[in-house]
Amino acid sequence: MDIVFNCPNCEQELAVDSAGAGTDIECPECHETITIPLPPVKNPAPPAEAAPAPSLAASVISSSAAAKIERHLKVPVGDKPTAVLIAKTNPPLGARKTSGEKRIRIHTIKHASCIESGHDKFDQKVTEFLNEIGEANMVGVHTISYTYFDVGTQKILNDYGVVILYRG
């Protein structure tokens, strides 16, 4: 297999056996010492462009190296969102710390204990308590049902109530 190329000096088309690739020869036309290009560079383009070709290859290598560096840089870039996520999880932790003086508490209001002089003051008492803690400190209100022994009727009765979770 022959390498066909042009003399960089006189542009004479030359055909050399591929075994001589990379070696210096004397151009039979202009007697200039020229380097036989490697088989992949056997394009008929003038060797003047063969010089930019390796530099292009070098730029490809450097660009691929840059791409590799970019990938390496992308890893820290990928770490940044993680750091942001950590930073995002921090404010709630900080919020918990700042509200550290306020602890989660529960307050149970049983319906039976809100009967005063025969008047059902359950709703009123729950409302009063909710207003007391304030909406901002409200965590949740859960209904409960319970049984109790009613002394008056001597019966076990079912009743209901609420458990209020709040910060206070």
| Number of other residues whose CB lies within 10 A of the CB of residue 57 | 12
Give the nearest distance from C-beta 19 to Zn ion in angstroms: 21
SS3 59: helix
List residues bridging with 15 in a β-sheet: 4
Nearest to Zn ion of 7, 164 (CB atom): 7
Nearest to Zn ion of 23, 90 (CB atom): 23
Give the per-residue contact string, 2-41, with Zn ion (x = CB under 5 A; - = no).
Answer: -----x-xx-x--------------x-xx-----------
Give the nearest distance from C-beta 31 to Zn ion in angstroms: 7
Locate 40 and state its tokens.
Answer: 């992949």
CA separation for the pair 163, 75 (Å, rounded): 49
Nearest to Zn ion of 12, 137 (CB atom): 12
- Binding-site residue total for Zn ion (CB under 5 A)? 7
Give the nearest distance from C-beta 44 to Zn ion in angstroms: 15
Locate 111 and state its tokens.
Answer: 């319906």
CA separation for the pair 164, 17 (Å, rounded): 93
- Residues between 89 and 148 that touch Zn ion (CB under 5 A): none
Beta strands in 33-137 (DSSP E): 33-35, 104-110, 115-116, 119-120
Nearest to Zn ion of 7, 162 (CB atom): 7
Name the site residues for Zn ion (rule: CB under 5 A). 7, 9-10, 12, 27, 29-30
